[in-house]
A and B are shown apart, each in its own frame.
Chain A
Amino acid sequence: MSNDVIFAPLKFRNLTVKNRLFRSNVSGRFDNYDGSGTQARINWEESFARGGVGAIVSSYVPVHIRGRILPNYAMVDNDDKIPFWRAVGEAVHRHDCKFIMQLSHSGRQRDNPGVENFRQKGLSSTNKKDSFHGLLCEAMSVQQIKETVRHFAEGARRAREAGLDGVELHASHGYLITQFLSSAINDRKDEYGGALRNRSAFLLEIIQAIRKEVGSDFHLQAKLNAVDFGNALYPWEKKGNTLDEGIQVAKWAEEAGVDAIHVSIGSIFPHPLLPPGGLPVDEFNWWYGAIISSGVRGYMNYTVCHFKLLRPILDFLWNRTKKSHPVEAVSSEYCREVKKNVGVPIINTGGYQDGKVIRRVISEGITDAVSIARPLIANRDLAHVLQSGRDLPAKPCTFCNRCLLNAPANPLGCYDVRRFNGDHDAMIAEIMQVYSPSQFSEQHVSVAGSSKE
């Protein structure tokens, strides 16, 4: 399929990616507690590069310890992290794959803040806790805002120094930048709150600071919500930003100097619409305990999920908005509108796996590329499968979201045992492959040795 739009190179201002398949940012607790990287992270990222995607958007990389979602995520909060990220980049580059670091700050949305943050509330635009887990927060002072902007810029610098191919600002899914952008969350009365322009100031200042720090020839993209759907879970919550507002933010981001927009939806994470698919209550029941004490609604959520009699409440709340959206290409129709209004290339995420769907959204001009996480966790070689002319792997991702619900507690991987014909051991064996080679294995020494040549 030489004319396959999926495998046409995508040229950004400062970066060319060999195909239209991006590994979307997805983390896994593979690193050291203190945020230093491990061989497992390198193995993890390299496995996707080996599978044929054009570019990898990194794991969620906190620019500051206070902005970490979960412990064991590699950070970029200090220059001492540069060598690790360089190693990651090099591993990925060996497979003709680009590596874009996602610069992130959780704000209040810390699923497990870790012992370092145990005695602090999360930073946010607001003092109001998040609606899902009840994660507590305090509104940032202007000085804290300026410092955080600086942390992003320094993170970008470190990424560039590590030889990575670009950075992405995580400005969607309810993390710190969304907390400023969203009218449902941001209740500030100062220059960072109120009108959309004010709410966007934090994002735009970060873009400008990064540009100032790394210049205009380093790839910078922003992951933005087209629509917030702030009331998708609880109908009494505010809706947040509309599509028009999402488009406006994208336009301002473009003006400020981003090279691409990564379009998503949802003002919390997880969100009923994103990642699209199921909410397996068994997994919720088994693993939510890992983060149950992080917020003030954890025990309530757990109770609702734990008792079968109460589950219809969760079922109703979680599924009521989903009914009006497809699982595959869940945000594509919003993305189409964003793309119409901006000039830079667009990447869209949410439920992409099927070659036919991916070809359609690219051909119809809905997006220039798609980013994929769960189907690639299930089938690292999805790109090769699509390139071979098949639209789906033999055992495709079911969008069950078991990977998502295991993530806070267990190694990230595909936990849909149906894909392993019910063989639990086989499933675990595949998940554990991320630890191989280990830092001290002979295989690794040779690989690591060669990488240093």
Chain B
Amino acid sequence: MTMPEEDSIRTGEGNLTDYVYLSPVDQYQQHFRRWLLLIVLLFLALFVTAALYYFMSDRTRYYSDILEHFKYGSIGSEPGGTIFTQVGGVLPPYLVFKTLPALCPDKLPGGYASLGLVFEPGHELPIGVSRRWRLGVEQVGLNCAVCHTGTVRQSADSKPQIVLGMPAHQFDLERFFRFVADASLDDRVTAESVIAKAEEMGDRVSIVQRLILRFFLMQRLKLVTVSLQNRIGPLLNGPLPDWGRGRVDTFNPYKAVQFNWNLKLLPHDELIGASDFPSLWNQKPREGMHLHWDGNNTSVDERNLSASLGAGVTPVTADHASLQRVHDWIWTLPPPKYPFAIDQSRTARGKDIFAQQCAECHSFDGRKTGTVEDIASINTDPYRLNSYTYALTGNQSELYPDSPYRFTHFVKTNGYANQPLDGIWARAPYLHNGSVPTLLDLLSDPADRPKQFVRGYDVYNQQKVGFVYDTPQARQEGFWYDTTTPGNGNGGHLFGTKLPLDQKLDLIEFMKTL
């Protein structure tokens, strides 16, 4: 018989609390309650642990093969942070992302592939889209490969060749963002429709995932999408020129997404900044050169990290180890060999012409290679240059504070950087804004360069060195590029334009070998 402690015996006051002893039943139940409490607490602890693990664990597939890692590995661009405050990411969760085209077929009849995303057999997601478990759901994000994987075809009926590290000239990033945002907000996209469609597509959706989708995720997705649209809407839906295939406005979304700038307050012209995706190979010799089209940074690492921000990475969600693997790979990645026949006799002659006409600014050992050519001198389209501002430079230096990743190399320039031309055959169309479809056209007087042409069509024009831009098939598949649109100007860079045609042909034949 357990007697309570003396000081707990209270008589004469508080009749409701008086007790003198415990009956065997009381003792049993007290004992039982203690055990029950213990068990409940244990279960609670287990539940909390499981919930914490479920919602806080951050895991992604590790690809030991660097090529697979580049194509499908996560760099941390998936939404992260906490379940209460989502940080980063530009894409909806895996199940939603996967089912959006099927749920809104009118918005994207050809699926993601029609936007130029490259699918490989055996992969349900395209190259450049990674998966990562974050915040209790399978998320998707973009990685480097989405903008740096191109396709090349010899003819319309040949199989596309996938070239890693090549500018994704066929990929329409702006339409991709537009579609994902529009479809995410579409009334047809609900937890129920996503689950039903995902199961139709062979996914098994767990009860927990259903609950998360039904009661939490879809609402948040809509809110996050609206929020994102509010920030970058002026870029995607405003009266600005389309970026078109193979191009991105690098710094304007950056201003809105990373720094929460109100884009509506910026000058209209500053919001026009689309330029070509660059190639990724041969980074080691580029270290110290002025990188980015306008040469605003001389550090490959900072440029890489900055570029990843455009894919949705944030300082708190970046996967630096993963980025480092990509860095190590592209550090020495050689440019792709020209995949077609080369006229060796022309090449020999062209080499000399290159040395005379181009090497000073465009060979790795050129005196001016990697330096910024003043806009007054090069005279190419200025919009991209003007879209990067002093104010942005200041903001960028505040990213990654107190960490080894803090940006310290960004500067405002007044021109465009002279680029090494390794793998130049695969970097068409040319100039920073891709306003000249082929090398041969680039060697023409601006007045003779194509005023309108198709870009994003991947059949190769071996004669002019660039992609076919003027056939009916190209018009059907590609983006109609108008050089008279602001930001799309094809003027400037007059080097080589006065050469005789034969020498131009020799030169571009040689450039196939770079």
Q: Which residues of B sit under 8 angstroms from A319, Cβ to Cβ?
A: none
Interface flag for A119 (CB, 8 Å): yes
CA distance A293 to B22 in the complex (A): 12
CA distance A136 to B1 in the complex (A): 14
B9-61: which have CB < 8 Å to A?
A: 21, 23-25, 28-29, 32
Residues 127-138 of A, flagged 1 when their CB comes within 8 A of B and 0 if not, give 000000000100
CA distance A204 to B23 in the complex (A): 34
Within the complex, which residue of B21, B24, B28, B29 is in contact with A120, where a contact is CB–CB below 8 Å?
A: B24
User: In the bound complex, do residue B25 and residue A295 qualify as a contact, i.e. CB atoms below 8 Å apart?
Assistant: yes
User: In the bound complex, do residue B28 and residue A119 qualify as a contact, i.e. CB atoms below 8 Å apart?
Assistant: no
Chain A residue nearest to B23 (CB atoms) is A118
Chain B residue nearest to A136 (CB atoms) is B24
A109 to chain B, nearest CB (A): 14
Residues 161-201 of A, flagged 1 when their CB comes within 8 A of B and 0 if not, give 00000000000000000000000000000000000000000
User: In the bound complex, do residue A296 and residue B29 qualify as a contact, i.e. CB atoms below 8 Å apart?
Assistant: yes
Q: Which residues of B sit under 8 angstroms from A120, Cβ to Cβ?
A: 24
A270-312: which have CB < 8 Å to B?
A: 293-296
Chain A residue nearest to B27 (CB atoms) is A136
Chain B residue nearest to A298 (CB atoms) is B25
User: In the bound complex, do residue B21 and residue A119 qualify as a contact, i.e. CB atoms below 8 Å apart?
Assistant: yes
Which residue, of B1, B21, B23, B32, has the highest number of chain A Cβ atoms within 10 A? B23
Chain B residue nearest to A293 (CB atoms) is B25
Q: Which residues of B sit under 8 angstroms from A136, Cβ to Cβ?
A: 24-25, 28
User: In the bound complex, do residue A294 and residue B24 qualify as a contact, i.e. CB atoms below 8 Å apart?
Assistant: no
Q: Which residues of B sit under 8 angstroms from A119, Cβ to Cβ?
A: 1, 21, 23-24
CA distance A294 to B28 in the complex (A): 11
User: In the bound complex, do residue A296 and residue B28 qualify as a contact, i.e. CB atoms below 8 Å apart?
Assistant: yes
Q: Which residues of A sit under 8 angstroms from B32, Cβ to Cβ?
A: 296
B164 to chain A, nearest CB (A): 62
Within the complex, which residue of B1, B21, B25 is in contact with A294, where a contact is CB–CB below 8 Å?
A: B25
Q: Which residues of B sit under 8 angstroms from A18, Cβ to Cβ?
A: none
A133 to chain B, nearest CB (A): 10
Interface flag for A121 (CB, 8 Å): yes
CA distance A266 to B42 in the complex (A): 39
CA distance A136 to B29 in the complex (A): 11
A113 to chain B, nearest CB (A): 9
User: In the bound complex, do residue B1 and residue A296 qualify as a contact, i.e. CB atoms below 8 Å apart?
Assistant: no
B interface majority secondary structure: helix
CA distance A320 to B63 in the complex (A): 58
CA distance A374 to B24 in the complex (A): 34
Which residue, of B21, B23, B24, has the highest number of chain A Cβ atoms within 10 A? B24
B25 to chain A, nearest CB (A): 6
* Residues of A within 8 A of B (CB-CB), count: 9
User: In the bound complex, do residue B25 and residue A296 qualify as a contact, i.e. CB atoms below 8 Å apart?
Assistant: yes
Chain A residue nearest to B31 (CB atoms) is A296
Chain B residue nearest to A120 (CB atoms) is B24
Q: Which residues of A sit under 8 angstroms from B1, Cβ to Cβ?
A: 119
Which residue, of A118, A121, A296, has the highest number of chain B Cβ atoms within 10 A? A296
Chain B residue nearest to A299 (CB atoms) is B29
Chain A residue nearest to B21 (CB atoms) is A119
B477-498: which have CB < 8 Å to A?
A: none
CA distance A120 to B1 in the complex (A): 9
Chain A residue nearest to B32 (CB atoms) is A296
CA distance A296 to B26 in the complex (A): 8
CA distance A385 to B247 in the complex (A): 106
B257 to chain A, nearest CB (A): 52
Chain A residue nearest to B1 (CB atoms) is A119
Q: Which residues of A sit under 8 angstroms from B25, Cβ to Cβ?
A: 136, 293-296
CA distance A118 to B22 in the complex (A): 10
CA distance A295 to B25 in the complex (A): 6
Residues 390-429 of B, flagged 1 when their CB comes within 8 A of A and 0 if not, give 0000000000000000000000000000000000000000
A90-121: which have CB < 8 Å to B?
A: 118-121
A117 to chain B, nearest CB (A): 10
CA distance A119 to B25 in the complex (A): 9
CA distance A119 to B32 in the complex (A): 18
CA distance A119 to B24 in the complex (A): 6
Q: Which residues of B sit under 8 angstroms from A118, Cβ to Cβ?
A: 23
CA distance A296 to B35 in the complex (A): 14
CA distance A296 to B24 in the complex (A): 9
CA distance A294 to B24 in the complex (A): 9
B4 to chain A, nearest CB (A): 14
Q: Which residues of A sit under 8 angstroms from B28, Cβ to Cβ?
A: 136, 296
CA distance A118 to B20 in the complex (A): 13
B241 to chain A, nearest CB (A): 65
Q: Which residues of B sit under 8 angstroms from A294, Cβ to Cβ?
A: 25
Q: Which residues of A sit under 8 angstroms from B24, Cβ to Cβ?
A: 119-121, 136
CA distance A446 to B147 in the complex (A): 114
Chain B residue nearest to A118 (CB atoms) is B23
B133 to chain A, nearest CB (A): 39
CA distance A160 to B198 in the complex (A): 84
B23 to chain A, nearest CB (A): 6
B442 to chain A, nearest CB (A): 80
Q: Which residues of A sit under 8 angstroms from B21, Cβ to Cβ?
A: 119
Q: Which residues of A sit under 8 angstroms from B23, Cβ to Cβ?
A: 118-119, 293
A382 to chain B, nearest CB (A): 40
Chain B residue nearest to A135 (CB atoms) is B25
Chain B residue nearest to A294 (CB atoms) is B25
CA distance A293 to B26 in the complex (A): 9
CA distance A295 to B21 in the complex (A): 17
Q: Which residues of B sit under 8 angstroms from A121, Cβ to Cβ?
A: 24
CA distance A334 to B178 in the complex (A): 81
A290 to chain B, nearest CB (A): 15
A112 to chain B, nearest CB (A): 11
CA distance A296 to B23 in the complex (A): 11
Chain A residue nearest to B29 (CB atoms) is A296
A28 to chain B, nearest CB (A): 25
A119 to chain B, nearest CB (A): 6
CA distance A78 to B106 in the complex (A): 96
Residues 198-217 of B, flagged 1 when their CB comes within 8 A of A and 0 if not, give 00000000000000000000
CA distance A136 to B32 in the complex (A): 13
Chain B residue nearest to A296 (CB atoms) is B28
B33 to chain A, nearest CB (A): 11
A106 to chain B, nearest CB (A): 15
B2 to chain A, nearest CB (A): 11
CA distance A294 to B25 in the complex (A): 7
Q: List 18 A-B contacts (CB under 8 A).
A: A118-B23, A119-B1, A119-B21, A119-B23, A119-B24, A120-B24, A121-B24, A136-B24, A136-B25, A136-B28, A293-B23, A293-B25, A294-B25, A295-B25, A296-B25, A296-B28, A296-B29, A296-B32
Q: Which residues of A contact B (CB under 8 A)?
A: 118-121, 136, 293-296
The 3 A-B pairs of least Cβ separation, nearest first, read A296-B28, A121-B24, A136-B24
6 additional contacts, CB 8 Å, given A118-B23, A119-B1, A119-B23? A119-B24, A136-B25, A293-B23, A293-B25, A296-B25, A296-B32
